[in-house]
Amino acid sequence: MNKILIVAEHNGSQLNPSTAKCVTCARGIPDASITVVVFASDPIEVAKAAATITGVSQVLTVTHLAHAHPIAALIAPQLATLAKEFTHIFGPSTTFGKDLMPRTAALLNAPQLSDIMLVESATRFKRPIYAGNAITTVEVAAEIQLVATVRTASFEAAPSNHNSAPIESVNSTASLPSHTRFIGTSAARNGRPDLQTAARVISGGRALGSAENFNILYSLADQLGAAIGASRAAVDAGYAPSDMQVGQTGKIISPELYMAFGISGAIQHLTGIKDARTIVAINKDADAPIFEIADFGLVGDLFQIIPELKLLLKTAQ
Amino acid sequence: MKRILVSIKRVVDYNVRVRVKPDHTGVMTDGVKMSMNPFDEIALEEALRLKEQGFAEEVLVVSIGTADCQQQLRTALAMGADRAIHIQTDADIEPLTAAKVLLTLIDREQPMLAILGKQAIDDDCNQTGQMLAALWDRPQATFASKVEISGDTARVTREVDAGLETLEIDLPAVITTDLRLNEPRYVKLPDIMKAKKKPLDILELTSLGISINTQLKSVLFEPPAQRIKGVMLKNPQELVDALRRKGLV
Ligand SMILES: Cc1cc2nc3c(=O)[nH]c(=O)nc-3n(C[C@H](O)[C@H](O)[C@H](O)COP(=O)(O)OP(=O)(O)OC[C@H]3O[C@@H](n4cnc5c(N)ncnc54)[C@H](O)[C@@H]3O)c2cc1C
Ligand SMILES: Nc1ncnc2c1ncn2[C@@H]1O[C@H](COP(=O)(O)O)[C@@H](O)[C@H]1O
C-alpha cells in the first residue's frame, strides 16, 4: 500500500488547481491512498474543495493563525511530523512547493525528487534536467520515504465530483519558530486569468520596447480572454512584472494556445512552453529559433500584425 | 568575523545546448564549456555588495565536486571573494548531501548569512538552500530579488508566483537568489592575477564523515519529445483562419 500525502496550495479561501494536478500524479502510483493536508488560518472552505477531488480519500486540516500566509519554515516541521506514516509526500512545483518541500525533506532526512513529469511506478519517475534538454528516469529504493514536487504542466487537474472525503482536524505538536516573519505581498492582480492555469496566453518579448507598448498585448489578451506572459528580457527591461516571466526560471505553463510576440525562442524560454497545445510565433526575423517549435508562424512586425489580428478577431466574433 | 558563505557549483555553461549521449547513460559533457552556475554568480555578487556596504568582513566561497571546480573558485576569488574552500569528490552529489556538507562548513565558519543559487542549471533541483536552512534550523528566504540588512535581521523580497513577497528573517539565515537580484560584475584581468594569491583550501569530502550514497538513481537519459515544426502562414487572416479551424479563437 502506498500512502501519499499532498500539501494543498491555496490563497486562504480558494484551492489552487496545482493541488488537483498533484492528485492526478499521485493516482498514477498503483495501490495508493491519497491524503491532502491543508495548512491555513481558516481551512474549512479549502478543505471542502479538496475533499471533492476524485481520488482523495482523506483531508487533514492544520489550523493556526500563522498559516494565514504560507511560510516554509513554519509549515515544514509540522508537515514533517505528519509525514512520518506516509510513503510519498508531494507538493506542486510552484514557488509555494519549491520553497516548502525541500525543507520538509531535509527534516525527514529524505531525498527529494523535483518536477515529476511522469510516474512509471511507486519507485520510478521521469523528470526534466538541463532546462528540459534531457529527461531522466529516476529510481528510488522501495524503503525510502520520497518527497517530491510535481511538475504541474505535465498533469491535468483531477476532476472534482461528488466525492466527499472525510475532513479531519489535526493538532500540530511542532513548535513554530518566530525567526521568519511575513511582511507583505505586492501582487498586481489585474482581473485577468491566472498565467499558470489560463487556456490562452499572449506573451511579449524584448521587441515590445517599452511598458506602454506592452498595452497592445493587454488589449489583445482582453479580447481573447487570455493571460499575459513575458520573456525574461521583457521583464528585465521593466516592460512587465516578474510574475509574468515564462521559462526555465519563470513559470512553466501548458495552455491550449500560446502566442509569442517578438520572442526569439531561447532554450530557457522554450522550456516554459513546451507543453502548450498550440504555439503561435510572430517575429520579424524568419530565422528566429521560436519558429522551429511553433505550430503556426508568421513573419512580420508585431506592431502591424496585432492591430490586424484584433480587427479580424472582432469581425470573427 | 562577520562572514558570508556563498556556494558555487560548476555546471555546463548556460549557452551550451546539452545533448543526451547516444547510449542514454548521461549527457555529453566532454569538451563542453563549463561555468559557474549563473545563480551562484548572482549570489556571489550580492555577498560582495553586502561586504562593500559594510555588512560583512569576509566572503567565503565553497564548491563541492571534482578538482576542476577550482577553476570556478578562482573565478570567484577574482570577482572579489576573500577565501575559497574546495570539497573534493568525484561522486555525484545530490542536494541533501550538498546541504550536509555546507552545514559542516557553517558549523566551522559561523557565517551570518549563506547565499546560494535558487537552482543549479544542470540538475534543476532547486533544493539545496532550503535543505541547508532546515538542517541548520535557521530561516530561509528563497528566490530573492532584493536583500536589505539592518542589524540582526534582513528584509528579503521574494519572487513568488503571485508577485513579490517580503519576509523579515533573523540572522543567521539562508538566502537563495533569483535572476533579478543583481547583475554580476565582470572579472578584470589584474584581479585574475591577484586571485592566484588568495587562499584556496582543499578538503576531501570523505574526511567530513558524511555518507554520500545516492538515494535517487538516474537510470536512463533521453532527449525530450520534440515538437514538430508547424506551418508558416502568410498573413494575419491565415492565422485567424487556422486558429478558428482548431477552435482556439
Ligand atoms: C540561467 C538563465 C535563466 C533564464 N531563464 C529565462 C526564463 O525563464 N525565461 C526567458 O524568457 N528567458 C530566460 N533566460 C534568458 C534567455 O536566454 C533569453 O535571453 C531571453 O528569453 C530573450 O528574450 P526575448 O526573446 O524577448 O529577447 P531577444 O532574444 O532579444 O528577442 C527579441 C526578438 O524579437 C524580434 N523582434 C524585434 N522587433 C520585432 C518586431 N517589431 N516585430 C516582431 N518581432 C520583432 C527579434 O527578431 C527577436 O527574435 C534565462 C537566461 C539564463 C542565463
Ligand atoms: N556541488 C555543489 N557545490 C557547490 N554548491 C552547490 C553544489 N550543489 C548545489 N549547490 C548550491 O545549491 C544551489 C541549488 O542547487 P540545486 O538544489 O542542485 O538546484 C546551487 O545554486 C549552489 O549554490
Contact status of A136 with chain B (Cβ, < 8 Å): yes
- Tell which CATH classification among 3.30.365.10, 2.60.40.1220, 3.40.50.280, 3.40.50.620 matches the domain A2-169: 3.40.50.620
Separation CA A68–CA B48 (nearest Å): 35
- Give the model confidence (pLDDT) of B67-120 as tens digits: 999 999 999 999 999 999 999 999 999 999 999 999 999 999 999 999 999 999
Report the residue of B142, B165, B166, B231 to disrupt the A interface, i.e. the one with the largest count of A CBs within 10 Å: B165
Say how many Å lie between the CA of residue A235 and the centre of ligand 1.
Answer: 10
HSE-up of residue B159 (Cα within 13 Å, Cβ side): 21
Q: Which of A136, A139, A235 minimises the CB distance to B221?
A: A136
CATH code where residue B83 lies: 3.40.50.620
B48 versus B215: which is more confidently predicted? B48
Q: Is the minimum distance from the CB of B89 to ligand 2 under 6 angstroms?
A: no
Ligand 2 contact via B9 beta carbon (within 6 Å): yes
Question: What integer is the mean pLDDT of B157-164?
Answer: 93
Express each pLDDT in A231-286 by its tens digit.
999 999 999 999 999 998 899 999 999 999 999 999 999 999 999 999 999 999 99
Who contacts A105 (Cβ-Cβ below 8 Å, separation ≥6)? A89, A111, A112, A147, B96, B127, B131, B134
Residue A231 contacts residue A290 (beta carbons within 8 Å): no
| Sequence-distant (≥ 6) Cβ neighbours of residue A95 within 8 angstroms | B142, B143, B158, B159, B160, B161
Residues of chain A below pLDDT 70: 188-190, 316-317
Q: Average pLDDT over chain B, rounded to whole?
A: 96
Mutate one of A113, A126, A130 to test the B interface: name it (highest B CB count within 10 A).
Answer: A130
* pLDDT at position A162: 85
pLDDT for A188 equals 62
Kindly state the average pLDDT of the residues B200-220. 93
pLDDT given at position A45: 97
Model pLDDT, residue A280: 98
Q: Which residue has the higher pLDDT, B168 or A189?
A: B168
Q: What is the mean pLDDT of residues B138-152?
A: 97
Q: How high is the pLDDT of residue A249?
A: 87
- pLDDT for the residue B79: 97
A chain contacts of residue B161, beta-carbon cutoff 8 Å: 94-96, 196, 243, 251
Alpha-carbon distance of A17 to A21, in angstroms, equals 7
pLDDT of residue A39: 98
Angle in degrees, CA A277, A17, A219, rounded to 5: 60
**Does B163 contact A235 at a Cβ distance shorter than 8 Å?**
no
User: Measured between alpha carbons, how far is A264 from A206 in angstroms, rounded to an integer?
Assistant: 9
Classify domain A200-316 at the CATH topology level.
Answer: Rossmann fold (3.40.50)
Domain extent for B18: 3-245
Nearest chain B alpha carbon to A141: B215
pTM for the model stands at 0.93
* E strand segments, A8-93: 32-40, 56-63, 88-92
- pLDDT of amino acid B214: 85
Which of B124, B129, B132 is nearest residue A128 as measured by Cβ atoms?
A: B124
Share above pLDDT 70 across residues of chain B, in percent, rounded to a whole number: 100
Give residue A175's pLDDT.
80
The number of folded domains in chain B is: 1
- Is it true that A2-169 and A200-316 share their CATH fold? yes
Helix (H, G, I), strand (E, B) or coil at A133: coil
Give the tens place of pLDDT for each residue, B6-34. Answer: 999 999 999 999 999 999 999 999 899 99
